[in-house]
Amino acid sequence: MDAIILQTFNGLSLGSILLMVSLGLAFAFGLMGVINMAHGEFIMIGAYTAYVFQEAFAHSLGGVEAGVWFVLAIPAAFLVAALLGALMEVTMIRFLYGRPLDTLLATWGAGLVLQQAARSIFGAPNVNVSSPIWLQGGFDFGAQLLLPYKRIFIIVLVAVIIGAVYFYLYRSANGRRLRAVMQNREMASCLGVRSRWVDASTFALGTGLAGVAGVALTQLGSIGPSLGTFYIVDAFMVVVLGGVGRLPGTILAALLIGISNTLLELGTSATVGKVLVLLAIIAFLQWKPSGLAALQTR
Amino acid sequence: MKNQNRTFLALLMRWGPFLIITALFLLAPQFISPFRLSQLGKFLTFAIIAVGLDLIWGYGGMMSLGQGLFFSLGAYGFAMYLKLLASGDKIPDFMFWSGLTELPWFWAPFSNPLFAVVAALVIPSLIAAIVGYFIFRSRVQGVYFSIITQALTLLTSIWFVGQQAYTGGTNGITNLGSAKFFGQSLLSTGVQTGFYLATVICLALVYVLARWVTDSRFGRLLIALRDDEARVRFLGYDPVLIKTLVFTLSAGIAALAGVLFVPQVGIISPANMGVVPSIEMVIWVALGGRGTLIGAIVGALVVNFGRSYFSETYPEIWQYFLGLLFVAVVLLFPAGIVGSLMQGFNWLRIRIQGEPMSDMTEYGTTPYRPITLGHSASNLSAPAAPAATSTSTATSATASATVSSPSSTTATAKGGS
């Protein structure tokens, strides 16, 4: 019984991490048709922002243990990643709208440059970001069952982000403009929406979310310049499985992949579990090329 | 009589450069050191992959990110033959380390060279045929095809890493040095030169095959599919069949490259299989020039020689350079090296002779057209978000590309004569 609860929790946790890394991608890919292969590198940038905050501000802000720096690193990582994302949109992506295969290649190149830049600045070896004291340990339910605070923190963070994204999209003026441009660009432009600005800000929002994901990932292990490459294909599978352009589908897909992955790992081994999940996704996409969201709507 | 001479001349103009270059590569062992020769041989196997990729991507419009997978499957098949040859009566060392006491049944037939080569070519092709059939049948197109092939590559490399006892895990299959051919070690200059010559000949044959395919009716259908799949379907052709065939062919070509790669490099590991090498293969073709075949070869050689030059002198810069190369090729030179040269040549020709290239110089008869989101999006019920405005810009760019090399029309007309 305990093992099942623990595995479900682990699955939920993995699902929330997947959701974290793929939510930003759902913006770039789902709403704008941009295959942002550098998405993983924006996660890496967010992680390194947390590292810089730890090194630079931890002492003046009550020490590493208190974790004020960590809380501040979250919005900072969002800003850094969003600004770099906006820069990338203005210099590169905007020439490539409507050519997804070309965005795939160009952003892959940009990702290589960002990786090498991280290697030049921080060095090739991995670095560690320590945890604030309030993220160490976990809820203890008897002998076998311990739910780590770090994982719960990530689940809560994802829930907060989804709430914020929902609020932004459906309750704010900017979100209304964004939806208008995505539905009918010409008409929105005619009505005075600056569509160029909407494009840039949407893309920046996606990369900013990747930055926040990076901060969360620092709590799960050491970080290095190639951190993002471990997550990029998974993130794409989540978005494609969820249905391109459907945020509810993305959420469902992330949780489904997370839970089935951990449950399959329980039955087999870690690699076989992952292989089976990927195979299942590919098979599912043969049957429903438009993903899970299509199941809901039709 | 005069007419016959002209045809001969045309043939000579068309295939002469090809024959001369092939002969030069065949003579290369006389002039360069064994180290450079093995490097060149390795890069030529990459060029073979690139030709296959150009066939499916440059002509067919399907950007496969699974070429690394087919390449390594071919390589693993032949590597296992070499490994069994090198191990003699014993089982391969990595199997012994993982606790196996006898050779698994599915590797056993790989001790026969003929079976090993045939299986190394057929198995990847078969996988491509099956996967391709299902992908194309459900009308998965454009980037979705790329992402699915990429996921397939990822899962296979994860699986190969996990099956330590059967595939050598992360280390892959290595230590092939004690394999002997005709009493000579695999590493001896004689055997290495033999494999180099085989690589050159295979590259030449693959090039001729690809040229023949693209010049045939089938090739024209392939180009039509790239440019407007729905219309081809409405005309009564079966896109699934055409696409599956060309995907299978390109997988087989990549597997052939893998078979030639292993004896010259001496190792195959999941590092050659994964997502990263597969994307790099795409940039070889893009840099050289999509839809030109010769560009694929040029691109593979340029990128890999560039890498070895930079990483010998300034290793840090190479990564920046490679990254910027991706960006620059897409943004500034979508036609690639060969495509740009041809556009330049054509411009000169129009200036001097007042007419575009005749069908005698047929390279670049199919300028690359970026695929707009419109098609795939409508197919997958995704909101075709920015496509509304950007499709028009993309098509106008395409239009100018077509105008700048009007030879495409002559090439189509050629079919009738």
Strand partners, A140: A146
Give the residue from chain A lying closest to B322, CA to CA.
A109
Judge: A100–B161 Cβ closer than 8 Å, yes or no.
no
Judge: A100–B143 Cβ closer than 8 Å, yes or no.
yes
pLDDT the model gives residue B381: 35
Query: Is residue A298 one of the residues assigned to a domain?
Result: no
- Taking the CA of residue B149 and the nearest CA in chain A, the distance in Å comes to 9
- CA neighbor of B264 nearest in space, from B346, B156, B323, B176: B176
- The model's pTM is 0.83
Query: Is residue B192 one of the residues assigned to a domain?
Result: yes
Calpha distance B162→A276 (Å, rounded): 13
Range of the domain at A251: 2-287
Judge: A289–B376 Cβ closer than 8 Å, yes or no.
no
Query: Is residue B32 one of the residues assigned to a domain?
Result: yes
Range of the domain at B263: 25-274
pLDDT the model gives residue A143: 64
pLDDT the model gives residue A290: 75
Alpha-carbon distances of A225 from A45, A86, A123, A215, A289, rounded to whole Å: 9, 21, 8, 14, 34
Substitution target from A194, A241, A257, A285 for chain B, most B beta carbons within 10 A: A285
Calpha distance A178→A193 (Å, rounded): 9
Give the rounded percent of residues in chain B with a pLDDT score beyond 70: 83
Calpha distance B52→B69 (Å, rounded): 13
Number of CB atoms found within 10 A of residue A121's CB: 10
Q: How many domains does chain B have?
A: 1
Chain A contacts in chain B segment 160-179 (CB below 8 A) = 161-162
Tokens describing residue B220: 């024209």
Average pLDDT over residues A6-14: 84
- Residue B406 CA from chain centroid, whole number: 27
Q: How far apart are the first and last CA of chain A?
A: 37
Q: Are strands A145-148 and B180-181 parallel, antiparallel or unpaired?
A: unpaired
Judge: A109–B320 Cβ closer than 8 Å, yes or no.
no
Residue type, A202: T
Asked if pLDDT for residue B380 goes beyond 60, the answer is: no
- CA neighbor of B371 nearest in space, from B291, B315, B308, B310: B291
CATH number at residue A44: 1.10.3470
Strand partners, A127: A223
Dump pLDDT digits (tens) for A219-244. 888 899 988 888 888 888 888 888 77
Query: Is residue A142 one of the residues assigned to a domain?
Result: yes
The answer for B383, left when phi > 0, alpha when psi is -120 to 50, beta otherwise, is beta
Q: Are strands A138-141 and A145-148 parallel, antiparallel or unpaired?
A: antiparallel
Whether the CB-CB separation of A226 and A213 falls below 8 Å is answered with no
Tokens describing residue A279: 């195979």
Chain B contacts in chain A segment 150-189 (CB below 8 A) = 181-186
A113 in B contact zone (CB under 8 Å)? yes
Calpha distance B72→B65 (Å, rounded): 13
Contacts of B143 in chain A (CB under 8 A): 35, 100-101, 104
A108, A240, A274: residue with CB nearest B158: A274
Judge: A245–B134 Cβ closer than 8 Å, yes or no.
no
According to DSSP H, which parts of B140-238 are helical?
142-162, 164-167, 189-215, 217-227, 229-234
The helix or strand, by DSSP H or E, that contains position A147, with its residue range, turns out to be strand A145-148
Range of A45-54, B139-148, B407-416 with top mean pLDDT: A45-54
Residue type, A234: D
Contacts of A95 in chain B (CB under 8 A): 331
pLDDT the model gives residue B394: 38
Calpha distance A139→A146 (Å, rounded): 6
- Taking the CA of residue B399 and the nearest CA in chain A, the distance in Å comes to 15
Contacts of B158 in chain A (CB under 8 A): 271, 274-275, 278
Chain B contacts in chain A segment 189-208 (CB below 8 A) = 195, 199
Q: How many domains does chain A have?
A: 1
B327 in A contact zone (CB under 8 Å)? yes
Contacts of A245 in chain B (CB under 8 A): 382-383, 385
Nearest 5°: phi and psi at B276? Answer: -65, -50
Dump pLDDT digits (tens) for B98-152. 878 888 888 888 888 899 999 999 999 999 999 999 989 888 878 889 988 998 9
Query: Is residue B353 one of the residues assigned to a domain?
Result: no
A66 in B contact zone (CB under 8 Å)? no
Query: Is residue B52 one of the residues assigned to a domain?
Result: yes
Confidence of residue B34 (pLDDT cuts 50, 70, 90): confident
